[in-house]
Every structure is written in structure tokens, then in C-alpha cells.
Amino acid sequence: MQCAPIDLAPWRSRLREAKLIKLNGRVTQVIGLTVAVQGINAPIGEVCEISIPGGPEPVLAEVVGFRDGSAVLMPLGELRGVYQGCSVTPSGKSFNVKVGEQLLGRVLDGLGEPIDGLGPIGGRLKDYPVDNRPPNPMKRRRITEALSTGVRVVDALLTCGRGQRMGIFAGSGVGKSTLLGMISRYSNADVNVIALVGERGREVLDFIETDLGPGGLARSVVVVATSEQPALVRLKGAFVACAIAEYFRDQGRDVMLMMDSVTRFAMAQREVGLATGEPPATKGYTPSVFALLPRLLERPGMSAAGSITAFFTVLVDGDDLNEPVSDAVRGILDGHIVLSRSLAATNLFPAIDVLNSVSRLMPDITSEEHRAYAGKLRDLLATYRQAEDLINIGAYVAGSNPHVDEAIAAYQSIINFLKQDLYEHAQYDHSLEMLKTIVHKGAGEHG
């Protein structure tokens, strides 16, 4: 009896690709955020270990460039204890994160390790690549279904589709994180993945316990890379969150990815770019910042199995919506929600400036009737804003303009509609009914 021939081709291929001899290098220089290493042959993106004699664990660092015959590495941890001559060993692989159902309800650091004091993540976990490419545009399913966020003004006037990517633009202290917390608690997504990139350490526990709450945390994975972490860890935190969201999407789930904030992600990349010798280009940002933003922002969306709906906050520098990062992000995403400091000062929460916000997919996922009522409310609000100064000083005479009269009749109802308590869950259908009632009421009172 003859045995079937064994196909050795795959094994030969693996043998050719295997690194049977690992070359150890030596640290030759540490300048600012970078470590220069000689003696290794590692590509961009490979993770290396810097051994510290007597230290508890080696320091992980990633190859980010080359200069004068040396590999330039950036640390994924503290460089304290590293000195000239430390041994450096390439790992032979890029950075991966461990994923699985056990991540739900856990808080991770920027490298995917638990920091919530609940011990290691048990069970079988799968290694998942962090630096994935965005899905093939020809294989993305079209977005045809509305997603309820539980926020009345968003559902009624800025309707978001399942698989859409939205930006929340605001200056500091206007309510970006609080709005994210509301969406994470009340949306009808299966899983939330929340990335807090470059945030203040004090705000992390506040967000988890107050904005997110125990119910929201139970179906969420929170990735935290605070502002004092190395720039590369802050960058990895954003990509780790994307990879975890992609894992759950590939399991057929509808995932909500929320990131606070893209601006601090861009600042981290600026630090990396400047440290590796890039020239500052647009208002101090290096060219690699604007090359990296699409690689992050294009990853969420629809796939053959599931969906990732994404909300990215953008910290607007000096409340200038046309500053470089805001302008670049707005051009990539599928819509933007603008929070207004002046509206927040009038105790309107969420302080969404409806007239300056837009959902690009709303016409595709809403009924003709819904769009008509939303457009009418926008028209009433715009008319009132144009005549507001005359109304406030008493110079407007009732009956002078029927459109202004209608806007005045509906204005207080519109403001009450736009306001929503932090712990009020607005049902999608109820929000649409309220929208219809306000428009009809304004027309009826004027008539």
C-alpha cells in the first residue's frame, strides 16, 4: 500500500521566511522620544525588546524609521533605566492585540492590557493585528438602516446610519465626552468600543462611572491611553480600539466605536513625526499626520458580516472649525455634529448647533416625510435666528412677516425639543412624533 505524497511546499515557504538567526543590536543613542539601535535588521513596524540588566521586564519599542545606518525606535513604555549598550532583540512580528468575548466590561491600556484591577483576562484569546487596512471599498455593503442613538436631536435632525462615521466637533468643556456617554448608554448597538486617547487621567474614572455607567460598561470595552503616556502608546490605543471593534464586527455584531479625541491622536503622531525628523508643515503638524488620519478614520463601516458605526470627537482649537485637523477630519467622515459654546452658555444640553451640523447619509436612510419635517424645523430655527436681534429689542411687529411669526410661535417648543437630560433615553419613534407635533403646532398657532 503506497502512502499519498506529502506536499512540502508550504513548509518550504515557511522555512524560507523564518528568521533562524536573530541578530541582537545595541542601543547607541537616546534623543528625546527616539532610540537609535545598531546591529539589527528589522522593518518598519516590527516590535523589539530592549533588555535592561536587573530590570523587571524588557522595554518594548517599535521601529519607526532609519537614520545614518541605525534603526530608529520609539518606546511603548518608559525608557527609565535604558542606557547606551543595552541589548535589543527584534521579535519578528508587528504589534498584535488579544481579543475575545472576555474583553466586554473590561478597561484596557493603550497596548490592550487590563488596568481595571480585575486581574488578567482569562479564557481563550485570539491574536489580532492592530494595523489593519480599511475594507475594500467594493466589498462594503451600502448603509440603508438608521441607528437609534437615544439622543433626540441626533435621531430626528441628524439621523445616523448603521455603519456611518460621524464627527463631534467642539472646543474644550462644551460636552463632547458627555454626549459620547449618552450615545454609549442608549444606542441600540450590540457592543461599544470606547477609546480615550490623550485624555486627562482624572476624567477616565469620571467617564466610566458617570457618563458610561455600569449598564453601559457591561457591553463595552474601554481602551485608555492618557496624556502622560508615550506618544506611540497613544497612537496604538486608537488602533487597538479599532482592531477590537473589527474583531466583534467580524463575529457579525453591530459595533459602536467611539473615540475621544482624534485631535490628541493627531498630536501624538506629530510628536512621532517631529522626533523622526519630519518637517512641520501645516500649523506645526507634520505631513504624516494627514496621511495617518484616513488610515484610522476609514477603518470603521460596513463589512460582509457586521458593522462599525463610529463617533469621533474633534477638539477644535480656539473654537476654529477650519483649523487643519478639523478640516481634514470633516472631509473624511460621513457627517459632523457641531457643539456650540454659546448654546452651552444658555444651558442648552446637548449644545448641538443644528444649523451647522449635517448627516450626509440622512437622505438615504429616512423617509420623505421625516426629511420634510426635519427640514421644516431647521427652516423655522434659521428664520428665528435671523430675526432674533429685532425680536429681543422689541423692534419686530407681529404680522410683518408670516415666516417670522411662525418661527416665533414654534421657537420655545423647538428649544424644549433640542434639550435633553443626561439620563433621559429618547426612543427613536417618540422623537419623530415630537418632531411632527412641533412643526404642526407652529403652523397651527400661526394660522
Instruction: Read off the amino acid at residue 228.
Output: E
Cα-Cα-Cα-Cα torsion 98, 102, 106, 110, nearest 10 degrees, comes to: 10
Instruction: Give me the residue spans of the domains in the chain.
Output: 20-93, 97-366, 369-443
Number of residues assigned to the chain: 447
Which pairing describes strands 59-67 and 46-50: parallel, antiparallel, or unpaired?
Answer: antiparallel
User: Cα separation of 197 and 181, whole Å?
Assistant: 15
> Cα(392)–Cα(257) distance, rounded to whole angstroms?
42
- 255, 306 contact by CB (below 8 A): yes
For the record, the C-alpha cell of 105 comes out as: 466590561
Three cell numbers, residue 119: 486581574
* Three-class secondary structure assignment of the chain: CCCCCCCCHHHHHHHHHCCCCCCCEEEEEEECCEEEEECCCCCCCEEEEECCCCCCCCEEEEEEEEECCEEEEEECCCCCCCCCCCEEEEEEEECEEEECHHHCCCEEECCCCECCCCCCCCCCCEEEECCCCCCCHHHCCCCCCEECCCCHHHHHHCCEECCCEEEEEECCCCCHHHHHHHHHHHCCCCEEEEEEECCCHHHHHHHHHHHHHHHHHHCEEEEEECCCCCHHHHHHHHHHHHHHHHHHHHCCCEEEEEEECHHHHHHHHHHHHHHCCCCCCECCECHHHHHHHHHHHCCCEECCCCEEEEEEEEECHHHCCCCHHHHHHHHHCCEEEEECHHHHHCCCCCCECHHHCEECCHHHHCCHHHHHHHHHHHHHHHHHHHHHHHHHCCCCCCCCCHHHHHHHHHHHHHHHHHCCCCCCCCCHHHHHHHHHHHHHHHHHHHC
Distance from C-alpha of 399 to C-alpha of 417, rounded to nearest angstrom = 26
Contact 370, 432 (CB under 8 A): yes
The CATH number assigned to the domain with range 369-443 reads 1.20.1270.330
CA distance 79 to 59: 7
CATH architecture, domain 20-93? Beta Barrel (2.40)
CB atoms within 10 A of CB 418: 20
Parallel, antiparallel or unpaired: strands 34-38 and 25-31: antiparallel
* Cell reading at 27: 542601543
Q: Answer yes or no: are the C-beta atoms of 314 and 167 closer than 8 Å.
A: yes
Residue 14 neighbours by CB distance under 10 Å:
9
Rounded to the nearest 10 degrees, the angle between the axes of helix 231-250 and helix 287-297 is: 20
pLDDT by position in tens, the chain (length 447): 555 667 777 667 666 655 556 678 999 999 888 899 999 989 999 999 999 887 778 999 999 989 888 999 999 988 888 889 999 999 888 889 999 999 999 999 999 999 998 888 888 888 888 988 888 888 888 999 999 999 999 999 999 999 999 999 998 888 888 898 899 889 888 999 999 999 888 888 888 888 788 888 888 999 999 998 989 999 999 999 999 999 999 999 999 999 988 999 999 999 989 988 889 888 889 999 999 999 999 999 998 888 999 999 999 877 778 889 999 999 999 999 999 999 999 899 999 999 999 999 999 999 999 999 999 999 999 999 999 888 888 888 888 889 999 999 999 999 999 999 988 999 999 999 999 999 887 566 555
pLDDT tens digits, residue range 38-87? 999 899 999 999 998 877 789 999 999 898 889 999 999 888 888 899 99
Other C-beta atoms lying within 10 Å of the C-beta of residue 100:
16
Residue carrying C-alpha cell 412677516: 401
Strand partners, 191: 255
Total-model pTM: 0.88
Q: Which fold has domain 97-366?
A: Rossmann fold (3.40.50)
